[in-house]
Amino acid sequence: MKRPIHECVSREELLRWTGDLVAIPSYSGLPEQEAAVGAYLKGVFDSEGVDCRIVPLRDGRCNVAAALSGTGGGKSLMLNGHMDTVPAYGMERAFEPWIDDAGRLHGRGAADMKGPLAAMLGALVAIKRSGVRLRGDLLFCAVADEEEGSLGTVALVEGGVRADAAVVGEPTGGRSVAVAQKGLEWFQFDFIGRTVHGGSYRAGVNAINQAVKFINALHSRLAPELETRALPLAGESTLNIGVIRGGTQLSTVPGECFVQLDRRFVPGLETWESCVAELREIAESLAAEDPEFKYEMKVLESSRMEKGYVHQGFALNPDDAFVRAVGRGVERALGVEARISGCPCWTDAGLIAHYAGMPVVVYGPGEMECAHTNEEHIALEALEEGLRAYVAIAREWCDQANSE
């Protein structure tokens, strides 16, 4: 009797791959940020005889593309995950993976998303070792720069890489299949006042006061409207003032102040362009009321993508054939019914859906709540479940005939 496909990869191998990936720093700002992770992934695929190549990007960065060719007539599937992480911040031993008594591997990227990436890697290796041939092609795309400008997935879209559907492996707890997420943009408003000594206050223009006017206008005019824009799984439209800075000392009227805000928009109800227009309209109305109200608006550099691309959202019908196939795969692998949900954060799934026109879901092992924190971890049991689920999803989808 043949053993199950997922058993062709051991727990020890999954643990080793995850730990090795966590031990390779690939956080924002490093030169050739993802190159070492890419080389590691290619090394594993090469040793297993899985077709794999490094796809160069700019500044020494890269994507990794691997594939198992199908026998023909089936549907193709892309497993997509990112190689970059956020910095360590205050996390101790961030790149020295260790396992606690509860069986959880700790380290930067363990959940977001080197653990899910290792489970995806394991799915291809397990299928290859088993000798089973799927009808459709199974693609593995490890991408750069998801935490910032998504250079990797934009390059993937620009390069014409397509499949009949895609799974983005961000952590969803292994039980939830996310079929929607909001779009995202980060804006900065610079307010320009006039600096004078505090003793001559009325001769100056206080830039902090101008910023406060703007913030109050956002809350009184825009926030109530945003609460009316919502989709059941994507949630409601939001605006968050995350940073405000201005002034130099107490006895000086501040001539400069800036405000940075996070804007999340609901697919189908709003667009990136409508978000820009609403924010600009409020600022312009304040300028019309006060000749001294001067501002500049821009997208933060850390949020800026390649020309022609923005952080789009997506919403896939829960009754879509791909969603049903993923749900069957999760139930087959884990013995539980998959919960259909929305993704609370932004992921590359928005780019894949909007610009590549592919049905996509977000699904992976690990807990999003611990991502980017000093306690980031992934349970070893979750890694094994992720491997089982990715194998089962691939079989459910890739073995369907193209006409179905």
Going by DSSP bridges, is the β-strand pair 314-315/176-181 parallel, antiparallel, or unpaired?
Answer: antiparallel
How far is Cα 140 from Cα 209, in angstroms, rounded to an integer? 51
| The two structure tokens encoding residue 304 | 């800026």
Query: The sheet that has 377-379: what strands, in order across it?
Result: 98-99, 104-106, 377-379
Report yes or no: 352 and 81 within 8 Å, Cβ to Cβ: no
Length of the chain: 404
**86: amino acid identity, one letter:** V
How far is Cα 371 from Cα 112, in angstroms, rounded to an integer? 6
Annotation marks residue 84 as catalytic: yes
How far is Cα 186 from Cα 279, in angstroms, rounded to an integer? 12
Return the CA Rg of the chain. 24
How far is Cα 99 from Cα 106, in angstroms, rounded to an integer? 6
Q: Is 173 exposed, middle or buried (0-12, 13-18, 19+ CB in 10 A)?
A: middle
Annotation marks residue 32 as catalytic: no
User: Among the options 34, 84, 112, 348, which is catalytic?
Assistant: 84
- Residue 377 C-alpha from the chain's centroid: 17
Q: Three-state SS for 130?
A: helix
Report yes or no: 5 and 65 within 8 Å, Cβ to Cβ: no
**314: amino acid identity, one letter:** F
User: Among the options 112, 145, 146, 270, which is catalytic?
Assistant: 146
Active-site amino acid positions: 84, 146
